[in-house]
Structure 1
Amino acid sequence: MIKKLFSFCLILFFSAFVFSQDYPFSLPSNMQATIHINSSSKEVFNNLLLGTNTHHFSTTKEKDLINKLKPITIRFPHGLWANWYDWRRDVSRLFGEESFEYEQGVNKTIKTKKPDLLANIKIFDTNNIKVGINGLTSLNATRKSQTGKGFDMMWTFNMSADGSDFNNGSPETIARYNDLISRGFEVKVVELGNENFYPGQRSSIIPNTEDYIARAKSMSAALKAKDPNIRVSVPLLRRGSWANPNWNIDVAEDLSYFDAVTVHTYVGSDPDDSNNSDEAYSTALTARKYLGNSIYDYAHKVAPNKPIWLTEWGVKSGGPNAVSVLGMADCYIFMSQNQDVFERANWFSVNGKLNSHYVWETYISPSGVERPRIKYPLEKTLFGSAYEIIRLALENTTLIESNVEVANLVDGVKAVNARVVTKDGKTSVFVVNLSNQDVPFHINLDGESYTDVVEHKAISFNKMDEERVMGINLDPLTLISQGNEGIILPKFSINIIELSNATLSISDIAQKQKIDIFPNPSKGVFNIKINTGEKAQYRIYSINGVEVQKGSFTSEKQVRFEDKQIGVYILQLQSEQGISNHKIVVK
């Protein structure tokens, strides 16, 4: 009987294992995909969607990692610790009491709560463990000296530091602002707390929703009095909450005191809920739908016109495996297709344990305790390799309108998704094949089939749970083909296909328009002249994709930059001839 039971258990285990490897969608056999490109419609890619969460800025090794990453955005501090950050000591510590009462649910039942991870907070406080503002200050100063501009910073402010008098003008918030300015940072975007919709991330100083709102309004007014151009966000739920089911409605009842909405979306394994570890491959492969639903079904229900700052997000089904990075790459395509919704995004995280770009290991501490740390020499997880490819494909590009004709995995998620981009006069197609088939890929450019030379590189996988570790300097892309013999997307693959002889060049449009921009570089005044005498619209973007000016003119226009706006910008001109982008430099 025991033998039979053991055999039966083995069969069940084996069956479950085999089933877990089965591709979860039904697709047509011999599937093909065609991308239809409309080169007359373009927009600049918003580099801020490539932001990340990083931590540790103090030691030489930590600084070298930051310098190697060259982060688009640094969020400081990040995570739960931001709610307990004491900027005067650069540590996380308890603000308020060790336990407090709050009103739970629509019936406002009184519950008692301790701050989340209180024991850890006490350890950080007692041992004076620094978060790293001094190291970050030196990194920022070096970056400014090398590039003329410091890091794009996403600051998360402690909602409890100003105390329980919500009419006091938030003096601690202003003192922290002044300190950051004195250190040479820009303070342009501020999150008003991290995930304060969870009671455990609030305190006895702001125990309830109305307390949070009162402090948020006070901080927002104080910061905007210092700089009217500062933009602030409030955290909204991405799903239902038993603790505060009306949080989103209450916080967004008055839309005037915040400029954006912070959402944290994790597809698959959820770090906020130990009981929710959805390992399903289907979840990762359709990650764009889950990401979209977390916005459209929640934040946009109460604040439909506020941009989304996705300051924490990730895709993870089982680990840094094939389906996780395929879903990750497809979400970047999704965000690039919805830049009117997504203004910022920060992957969580680069050098932390969750969704890390780097391989971790355990070591024995001097006290004999096993502890985790990043492995050196550095090695990339698949998250790190995928991010490297995504950044190569999208950063500093112009997006060209396109549409992929192919079968769906589910409603709203195609089996193959793509973005067409131009950069430095080159046109490429960034493609993710979510299917378990090698897919012939056809390119239709402005109504004509493109059959000229391509260079096709990809990272591809044989299995959905495949993981791959690479040396930090190894290229994750492999050459698939070169020439004009046709394009085949490998199954489970992330691809960059360069169209060697596609002439939808921005410079061709500029030549037809006969555009002159002078002087360039300049000290802040540029003359734009379209010699054909056309009416045109112009937009000026920072190198990070943030719009800084816009307007319209006929034939000629003089644009001016304010003092201290030194740097490189993209001038986008749109007329009947099309859209052209031009680099301008304020020196």
Structure 2
Amino acid sequence: MKIKVLLLFLIVILKSNAQDYPFNLPDNIEATINLNTESQESFNNLLLGTNIHHFSTDEEKDFVRLFNPLSVRFPHGLWANWYDWRRDVSRLFGEEQFEYKQGANGTPRMKEVDFLANLYIFDNNNIKVGIDGLTTLNTERKSNTGKGFSMMWTFNMSADGTDFSNGSPESVARYQDLINRGFEVKDVEMGNENFYPGQRSSIIPNAEDYIARAKSMSAALKELNPNIRVSIPLLRRDSWANPNWNIDLTVDQSYFDAVTIHTYVGSDPDDASNSDEAYSTALTARKHLLASVIDYPRKVTNKPIWLTEWGVKSGGPNAVSALGAVDCFLMMSENQDIFERANWFSTNGKLNSMLVWEEYIDGQGNTKERIKYPLEKTLFGSAYEITRSILENSTLIGSDIEAPNLVEGVKAVSARVVWKDGKATILALNLTDKDVVFNVSVDGGIFTDTYIHKAMAFLAVDEERALPYNDSPLSLIKEGTGQIILPKLSINTIALSGVNFTEALPSNNFNIETISETCTGKNNGKIIINTLRTKNYRIQIAGVDYSFTKDITIENLSSGNYDFCITVDGEDFEQCFSLEIESGNSISGKIAQNKDKATIAIESGEGPYTIIKNGDLLMTTYQKYLEINVAHGDVIDVKAKTDCQGKLSKRINMLENILAYPNPSKGVFDMYIPNDFKEVTLQMFNVYGQLISNQVHAVNGGKVHIDISNKPSGIYFVKVGIENQATVKIMKQ
């Protein structure tokens, strides 16, 4: 009897596990991929971006170096809306609660700032976000590779205050600070998810306030750098709070260059009630992710999509979640005309982490979580590692897949083919619970050559797997010839031999930058060449031959025009360029005084410009026209990027333009003195240079009264101030 019960129990378990896979498919499945080697497209590495956390401690920096992110978003998440760049801390801007207009009819409602208690914790404990550590890492990377991180910056839309016509001074200052730190500032998100009222503030409570600030910020940043690109956050689903947000923000499309979208398939970190963690959701993630763009932002604008937060999770970092994530990467590679940037959330945060976290007991007996050391990677980490190893720096080969559908728009087998490191490799997903025969056709012919097939395969849809960080997640399936079989629920790489492919360099393969001489005659100009494709390149500049494979910096160049051509060893390729290294020039311009302001107008000289007042650094800026507060006696110096360009200098003299009235007179004069002065020394001389008066006079109402009625008629000279900062000629009739 016990044996019968046990057998029945096992049968129930087996049936239950068999039902875990959510789709009904034929018993025998076959898929075919057809390669077209004439169709080529460079893969956009920025689609492999991530949100990476923590830059402060040595341990945190070591992980950033190990992971080597393709792009860095800073700061990220809702905390970016409260980021105080001067302190490197997230804090409250504005009031704790505010009124906003809800719905299409603008119903007044009150809203408290989201996660207010956390903001006070960050503020009161001065918890740093990590810009100093990121600066160190970026400087190190530039030193090692010649180029810093590809950055995605998120700017605080409340930091500039409620005066939307003020030129966004805090955003301008933050831009200047980032430039001074050595970062590239090319792409800026104007806020994070501000369509949620709790991620706005009392400073920008409504859509019209956001738009006003965004237009001001965009104009201010583009004045500093016309090539900078800015994005606005749009909804990827319906909104109760702001149903017209997408329409309102895109009525005028002149002030933004791209659209930021955040899409989470399955588990929704913003609203658990919107979560759909069915296994079928993860396996069809590509459809959900694409629909979130096509059905929402693409309805109001065709500008590029920056998917700066996304994730796939149905139940955890399990098999279906990993498969769905990789399929989304493949989908984006198929739609590079839509998706320009993407950042998985996250690398080493708790949400959709690529690393394993563990619980521990702190010194006060509280249970907390931390990243586990030695490092282990989740299936998200393993799936990303495989995907990046194939797609990064690759050329996509055109292909199509013949396979059954899981649902409309999602095939049971998904794949892309790339050319990289001199060979064709297929990244293929088997989204079914059955082994699949996988046929390969190259330019109409059946592939029969040798191949190396590796895979990460799963036994169940909910399988989770942690691996030591440096261990490969792939296992060898087959090396040789013959039939290719994709294991069920698997991520596969198939390296093909014998594929004839001539890789055409993309039109934008060469990014060439010139750096002018710092000063005339220094002969320290540079030509910097970065390429998308690794080849054996040759070039001749100024009679000197150079060879390189990826990037090169040619230094110690004099000013002048340079004509050169780049060739590739063993290929019939030549592309020519004509560039100019500009001569270094000295700083020139003017510092003009107007009451208590000094206007600085720079005409020439290379920035950034250093503004110094009385020996103290006031600011570093790329602005060529600015106004600063001054007082009598201040010394203002303006320096260019290098000392050899010289400087502009002016001592502020509030007395240099004073007047006497009436002039001439019978002997009574009023001299108009700036209000900053309470008293002033006046020395009076006759035309023979004889001192006839030396007195300290009180300044009343901005003027000094002089009476020389008892002096002979004639011309007198009044020197103002102990240091004789001004001389006024008066005439007694």
TM-score tier by shorter-chain length is: 0.7 to 0.9
Matches within 5 A, 1:180-259: 180-259=178-257
1:453 equivalent to 2:450? Answer yes
Q: How does 1:542-581 map to 2 (within 5 A)?
A: 557-558=576-577, 560=579
Q: C-alpha displacement at 1:368, in angstroms?
A: 1.9
Q: Secondary structure at the match of 2:295?
A: helix
**Does the 8 Å contact 1:236/1:262 carry over to 2?**
yes
Distance in 1 between the 2:580 and 2:313 partners? 43
Please say if 1:527 is aligned against 2:565.
yes
SS state of the match for residue 78, structure 1? coil
Aligned pair partner of 2:314 in 293, 312, 317: 317
CA distance in 2, matches of 1:236, 1:380: 32
8 Å CA contact 2:71, 2:150 repeated in 1: yes
> 2 CA distance for matches of 1:562 and 1:95?
46
Residues 374-393 of structure 1: pairs in structure 2 closer than 5 A = 374-393=371-390
1:425–1:505: 8 Å Cα contact kept in structure 2? no
Q: Is the 8 A contact 1:397 1:421 kept in 2?
A: yes
Residue 518 of structure 1: aligned partner: 539
1:419 aligned onto 2:416: yes
Greater relative contact order, per chain length (Cα 8 Å cut-off, separation 6+): 1
- What is the match of residue 289 of structure 1? 287
Q: CA RMSD in A?
A: 2.4
Structure 1 residue 432, shift from structure 2 partner = 0.8
Q: Secondary structure at the match of 1:48?
A: helix
Q: Distance in 2 between matches of 1:167 and 1:377?
A: 52
User: Which residue is equivalent to 1:57?
Assistant: 55
In 2: Cα distance, 1:526 partner to 1:496 partner: 40
Separation of aligned partners in 2, 1:16 and 1:240: 41
Equivalent residues of 1:517, 1:526 under 8 A apart: no
**2:397 equivalent among 372, 397, 400:** 400
- Taking the aligned partners of 1:224 and 1:277, their CA distance within structure 2 comes to 39
| Aligned-residue offset at 1:29 | 2.3
1:479 aligns with 2:500: no
Which SS does the other structure have where 1:57 is aligned? coil
The Cα offsets for residues 203-237 of structure 1, whole Å up to 9 and x where unpaired, read as 00000000000000000000000000000000000
Q: Does residue 331 of structure 1 match 2:350? A: no
- The reply on whether 1:432 has 2:406 as its aligned counterpart is no
Supply the AA of the counterpart residue of 1:499.
Answer: L
Distance in 2 between the 1:280 and 1:232 partners?
A: 36
Letter in 2 for 1:164: T
State how far apart, in whole Å, the 1-side matches of 2:210 and 2:363 are. Answer: 43
Change (3 A) 1:361 1:21: farther
Deviation at 1:21, TM superposition (A): 4.4
Change (3 A) 1:482 1:300: same
Q: Give the Cα separation in 1 of the matches to 2:213 and 2:159.
A: 10
Question: Which residue does the alignment assign to 2:173?
Answer: 175
- Which has the greater radius of gyration? 2
| Counterpart check, 1:96 vs 2:115 | no
1:367: how far off? Answer: 2.1
Q: What are the ranges of 5 or more consecutive residues in structure 1 without an aligned counterpart?
A: 1-10, 510-514, 537-554, 564-587
Tell me, in whole angstroms, the C-alpha distance in 2 between the residues paired with 1:423 and 1:274. Answer: 41
Pair 1:526–1:358, CA change in 2 (3 A): farther
Partners of 1:561 and 1:498 in 2: how far apart?
44
Whole-angstrom distance in 1 between the partners of 2:475 and 2:315 = 25
Partner of 1:373: 370
**In the TM superposition, what whole-angstrom CA distance separates every residue of 1:423-466 from its partner, at most 9, and x where no partner exists?**
12111011011111101111100010001100000000010000
The two structures have a TM-score, normalised by structure 2, of 0.69
1:154 matched residue in structure 2:
152
SS state at 1:32 partner = strand
- Corresponding residue for residue 78 of structure 1: 76
TM-score (norm 1): 0.86
Larger CA deviation: 495-504 vs 56-65: 495-504
What letter matches 1:439 in structure 2? V
Q: Which amino acid aligns with 2:53?
A: H
- The 1:232–1:17 alpha-carbon spacing in structure 2 relative to 1, beyond 3 Å, is farther
Distance (Å, rounded) in 2 between the aligned partners of 1:177 and 1:400: 39
- Change beyond 3 A, Cα 1:28–1:559: farther
CA contact (8 A) 2:101 2:206 kept: yes
1:48 paired to 2:86: no
The structure where strand makes up a greater share of residues is 2
Q: Distance in 2 between matches of 1:179 and 1:208?
A: 29
Q: CA deviation at 1:525?
A: 5.8
Contact 1:426 1:505 in 2 (8 A): no
Q: Which residue of 2 is the match for residue 37 of structure 1?
A: 35
Shift in Å, 1:501: 2.0
Separation in 2 of the partners of 1:526 and 1:321? 53
Matched to 1:387, the amino acid is Y
C-alpha distance in 2 between matches for 1:438 and 1:16: 19
Aligned match of 2:676: none
Give the aligned residue type for 1:484. Answer: T
Find 1:359's aligned residue among 351, 356, 359.
356
Note closer, same or farther for the CA distance 1:20–1:224 as it changes in structure 2 (3 Å cut). farther
Report the number of matched residues.
526
Contact 2:563 2:576 in 1 (8 A): no
2:492 counterpart of 1:495: yes
Deviations 1:393-413 (A, max 9, x none): 100100000001111101110
Aligned to 1:308: 305
Aligned equivalents of 1:213 and 1:344: distance in 2?
23
Higher helix proportion: 1
The letter for the 2-side match of 1:146 is N
State the match for 2:120 in structure 1: 122
Match of 1:140 among 138, 141, 147: 138
